[in-house]
């Protein structure tokens, strides 16, 4: 979603701000802007609708002067993506960029209008600048005015503010939206995302909830909610991570699909250790699942589908009841929770607003709150009792790929640990599974070397208007994930269904214009899936069967398309079948010519509910 950057330096800020905003593009945005305090003390700004190139074009004809600046990429919430609504919002003496939502902005607007302050935009953000400017008009010093402004705001925010006549400091604050301070040499930076700061500095501090900060060129002073001066720990970013290089691939999504073998190897290895009788799984050591009556799994989108797979795994293998829900429903459903349950929250970014709120609902109600995250410094990680890192590395493509398979790997390891605790998993089986898991990354790597059949299928799919994905058992959540991936990047309408559910309604959609992708490895549910496949073939659907060699041979197809998968332990099929599902979406989108890495309307990290 929206991105913030701030710089207080020795050089002209505009080019550095624009470069940093480019590193935030992956989060999804529809307009952008920058502002700076000029040497005469006035604040100037440039804003543009659309991609950053539009802003850059503007800056060629109207350069922006100033060494203290703030910048923003906006994902519209309140008000259309127009130049008027783009940040920074400048009112009177103040210019502000903001991530999050000010929930009481209508009340604030009414108050302000009675005092003669009229809003000129449709945004909630403008009210922050209006309130602060009014306090300055009333005689408050800028920093006091900014502090007083915070006390008037309800909702979530990460804020960076510039003040007329003050080119020596930037005010920053966070409540519910992340914000990091970066340390340079006689330069200081702000970023909503550590990745944006990476080439500028590797030394950062995250503001904590309700902190505010005053940055000068010499350093930063951070204050907590009560106004006490506090010190926040310094983190050194790993600069070898070159997250913004496509490394020869056409898109970040393509690169990240191909990174899965390495990412999975890292994720799996990090939870294995040497035991007395060989390698063992070392995860959630302090939880004894014998004493757990229920596992609650909550997430959004793709991360939710990972939870859906885990429900099948945990209930079948560890024989523990599992409740899954999408976070936006769970948080308001407010279900009763048993004290002897564990709640697991799965999130790549660790900043998804609904998942965070669902986690907060569970505080004090369950035995343990566990987060499965890619970003261990994120809000969700910080607020959980235990963090399980997925080790996927930065994911830049909006459509989640490697994070999904790494989430699955960690959830599978949790499942096996739970099954071992409950004596549902023998030593022999454990050894065999560990071996299978260790071989998995190379099997995935080999599979990715020959994916031409998927390109052919995708070419045909790219002209379809509607596509169905069908699966049973572990393949049902994969069917849902396939449909989500396809619609988000190719904009083709797609639905995922449990194969057995088809005749209860969706079969009415089937005709010869609707391709039906059937995910059916030759497992215990294969025969059932084949019956459902025949039902759609009988209605002239264009079937694409994704199965292993035996599965394809036994299907008795007559000219229909197939995607052949390697044979694998049935337990691991979701990790393998995630690849064709991702690649079908990827190549279909490429043939359609859509913006694969930054699809329309989507944001990478959904920090508003
Ligand atoms: C789909 C996708 C989204 C995310 C969802 C949750 O490709 O990426 O559905 O999975 O927005 O995001 P995180 O995992 O960051 O909580």
Residue whose C-alpha is closest to residue 95's, from 38, 175, 12, 36: 36
pLDDT at 606: 86
How high is the pLDDT of residue 27?
A: 86
Q: What is the mean pLDDT of residues 40-53?
A: 96
Task: Name the nearest CA neighbour of 177 among 190, 187, 189.
Answer: 190
Rounded Cα gap, residues 530 and 553, in angstroms: 12
pLDDT at res. 195: 80
Ligand 1 centre to CA of 452 (Å) is 28
Does the pLDDT of residue 239 top 70, yes or no? no
Residue 241 has pLDDT above 70, yes or no: no
What pLDDT shows up at residue 240?
61
In the prediction, which pLDDT does 242 show?
Answer: 64
Count Cα neighbours of 453 within 13 Å in the Cβ-side half-sphere: 16
Other Cβ atoms closer than 10 A to 534: 13
**From the CB of 400, is ligand 1 less than 6 Å away?**
yes
User: Which of 252, 297, 301, 484 for a ligand 1 pocket mutation test, highest count of atoms within 8 Å of Cβ?
Assistant: 301
pLDDT of residue 608: 80
- The candidate with the shortest Cα–Cα distance to 533, out of 548, 555, 563, is 555
Atom of ligand 1 at shortest range from CA of 355? 16
- C-alpha–C-alpha distance, residues 342 and 366, integer Å: 6
Q: How far is CA 231 from the centre of its chain?
A: 29
The residue nearest atom 7 of ligand 1, judged by CA position, is 399
Atom of ligand 1 nearest to the CA of 606: 11
For residue range 519-578, list pLDDT tens digits in order: 999 999 999 999 999 999 999 999 999 999 999 999 999 999 999 999 999 999 999 999
Q: Is the CB of 300 under 6 A from ligand 1?
A: yes
Q: Do 153 and 168 touch, CB atoms closer than 8 A?
A: no
How far apart (Å, rounded) are the C-alpha atoms in residues 209 and 195?
20
- Cα(604) to ligand 1 centroid in Å equals 7
Residue 562, ligand 1, Cβ within 6 A: no
Cα separation, 418 vs 545, in Å, equals 34
Q: Per-residue pLDDT for 17 more than 80?
A: yes
What's the pLDDT tens digit per position in 187-216? Answer: 999 999 888 898 899 999 999 999 999 999
- CA 580 from centroid of its chain's CA atoms: 21
Separation of CA 46 and ligand 1 centre (Å): 31
The DSSP bridge partners found for residue 191 are: 5, 180
- What residue ranges in 334-492 does DSSP mark as E strands? 341-347, 368-373, 386-389, 466-471
Q: Mean pLDDT lowest for which of 38-47, 158-167, 242-251, 410-419?
A: 242-251
Q: Is 609 helix (H, G, I), strand (E, B) or coil?
A: coil
Active site residues: 2, 604
- Average pLDDT score over the chain: 95
Whole-number pLDDT of residue 198: 86
Cβ neighbour number for residue 491 with a 10 Å cutoff: 16
CA distances from 362 to 209, 320, 351, 369, 607 (A): 19, 19, 17, 7, 19
Distance CA 560, CA 537 (A): 9
Q: Ligand 1: which of 1, 28, 303 to mutate, most ligand atoms within 8 Å of CB?
A: 303
Residue closest by Cα to atom 3 of ligand 1? 301
List the one residue out of 198, 597, 249, 257 whose CA is nearest residue 403: 257
Q: Facing residues of 215 across strands?
A: 170, 220
In short, whether 607's Cβ falls inside 6 Å of ligand 1 is no
Report the range of poorest mean pLDDT among 19-28, 323-332, 348-357, 479-488.
19-28
C-alpha Rg value of the chain to the nearest Å: 26
Give the number of residues written for the chain: 609
Q: Quick one: how far is CA 246 from the chain centroid?
A: 19
Q: What tens digit of pLDDT does each residue of 358-388 get?
A: 999 999 999 999 999 999 988 899 999 999 9
**Average pLDDT, integer, range 405-410:** 98
Q: What is the pLDDT of residues 466-480, one digit of tens each?
A: 999 999 999 999 999
Peptide bond into 426 cis (omega under 30): no
Nearest to 304 by CA among 458, 192, 453, 408: 408
374 lines ligand 1 (CB under 6 A): no
- Which residue minimizes the CA distance to atom 10 of ligand 1? 302
Residues 202-235 as b/e (b if ≥16 CB within 10 A, e otherwise) read eebbbbbeebbbbbebeebebbeeeeeeeebeee
CA distance 39 to 135: 24
431: left (phi over 0), alpha (psi -120 to 50) or beta: alpha
20: exposed, middle or buried (Cβ count in 10 Å: 0-12, 13-18, 19+) = buried
Residue 194, pLDDT score: 83
End-to-end CA separation in angstroms for the chain: 12
pTM: predicted TM-score of the whole model, two decimal places: 0.91
Distance 357 CA to ligand 1 centre (A): 15
Q: 487-506 pLDDT, tens per residue?
A: 999 999 999 999 999 999 99
H-type alpha helices, 314-426: 327-333, 353-362, 379-382, 402-421
Tell me the C-alpha distance between 264 and 277, whole Å: 24
User: What is the Å distance from ligand 1's center to 240 Cα?
Assistant: 25
What is the DSSP-derived secondary structure letter of residue 176? B
CA distance 209 to 180: 12
| Pairing relationship of beta strands 466-471 and 386-389 according to DSSP bridges | unpaired
Nearest residue to 27 (alpha-carbon basis) of 346, 245, 244: 244
Q: Which atom of ligand 1 is nearest to the CA of 407?
A: 14
Phi, psi of 362 (to 5 degrees): -80, -10
Nearest to 208 by CA among 237, 249, 180: 180
């Amino acid at each position: 979603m929206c991105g913030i950057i701030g710089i207080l330096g020795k050089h002209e800020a505009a080019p550095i701000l624009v470069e940093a905003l480019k590193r935030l593009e992956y989060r999804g945005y529809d307009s952008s802007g920058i502002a700076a305090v000029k040497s005469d003390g006035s604040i100037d700004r440039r804003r543009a609708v659309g991609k950053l190139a539009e802003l850059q074009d503007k800056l060629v004809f109207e350069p922006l002067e100033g060494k203290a600046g703030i910048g923003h990429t906006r994902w519209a919430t309140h008000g259309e993506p127009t130049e008027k609504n783009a940040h920074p919002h400048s009112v009177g003496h103040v210019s502000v960029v903001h991530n999050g939502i000010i929930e009481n902005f209508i009340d604030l607007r009414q108050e302000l209008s009675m005092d003669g302050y009229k809003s000129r935009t449709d945004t909630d953000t403008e009210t922050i600048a209006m309130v602060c400017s009014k306090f300055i008009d009333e005689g408050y010093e800028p920093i006091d005015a900014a502090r007083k402004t915070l006390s008037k705001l309800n909702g979530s925010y990460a804020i960076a503010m510039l003040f007329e006549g003050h080119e020596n400091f930037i005010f920053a604050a966070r409540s519910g939206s992340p914000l990091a301070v970066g340390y340079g040499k006689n330069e200081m930076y702000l970023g909503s995302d550590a990745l944006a700061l990476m080439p500028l500095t590797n030394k950062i501090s995250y503001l904590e909830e309700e902190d505010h900060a005053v940055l000068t060129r010499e350093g930063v002073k951070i204050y907590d909610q009560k106004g006490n001066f506090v010190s926040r720990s310094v983190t050194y970013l790993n600069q070898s991570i070159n997250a913004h290089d496509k490394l020869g691939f056409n898109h970040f999504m393509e690169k990240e699909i191909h990174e899965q073998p390495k990412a999975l190897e890292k994720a799996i290895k990090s939870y294995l250790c040497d035991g007395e009788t060989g390698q063992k799984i070392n995860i959630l050591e302090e939880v004894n699942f014998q004493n757990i009556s229920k596992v609650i799994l909550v997430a959004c989108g793709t991360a939710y589908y990972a939870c859906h797979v885990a429900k099948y795994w945990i209930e079948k293998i560890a024989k523990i009841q599992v409740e899954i829900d999408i976070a936006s429903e769970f948080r308001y459903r407010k279900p009763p929770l048993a004290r002897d349950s564990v709640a697991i929250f799965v999130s790549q970014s660790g900043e998804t607003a609904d998942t965070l709120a669902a986690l907060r609902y569970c505080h004090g109600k369950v035995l343990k709150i566990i987060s499965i995250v890619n970003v261990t410094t994120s809000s969700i990680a910080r607020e959980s009792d235990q963090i399980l890192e997925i080790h996927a590395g930065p994911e830049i493509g909006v459509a989640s790929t490697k994070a999904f398979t790494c989430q699955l790997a960690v959830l599978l390891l949790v499942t096996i640990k739970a099954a071992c605790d409950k004596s549902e998993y023998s030593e022999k089986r454990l050894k065999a599974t560990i071996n299978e898991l260790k071989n998995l990354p190379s099997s995935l790597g080999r599979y990715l070397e020959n994916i031409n059949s998927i390109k052919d299928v995708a070419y045909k799919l790219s002209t379809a208007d509607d596509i169905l994905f069908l699966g049973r058992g572990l393949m049902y959540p994969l069917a849902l994930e396939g449909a989500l991936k396809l619609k988000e990047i190719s904009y083709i309408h797609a639905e995922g269904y449990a194969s057995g559910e088809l005749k209860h309604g969706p079969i009415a959609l089937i005709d010869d214009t609707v391709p039906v992708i059937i995910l059916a490895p030759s497992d215990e549910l294969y025969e059932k899936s084949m019956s459902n496949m025949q039902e759609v073939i009988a209605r002239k659907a264009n079937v694409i069967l994704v199965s292993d060699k035996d599965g394809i041979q036994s299907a008795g197809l007559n000219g229909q398309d197939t995607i052949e998968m390697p044979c694998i332990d049935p337990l691991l099929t979701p990790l393998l079948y995630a690849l064709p599902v991702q690649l079908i979406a990827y190549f279909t989108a490429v043939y359609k010519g859509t913006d694969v890495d930054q699809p329309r309307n989507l944001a990478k990290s959904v920090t508003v509910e």
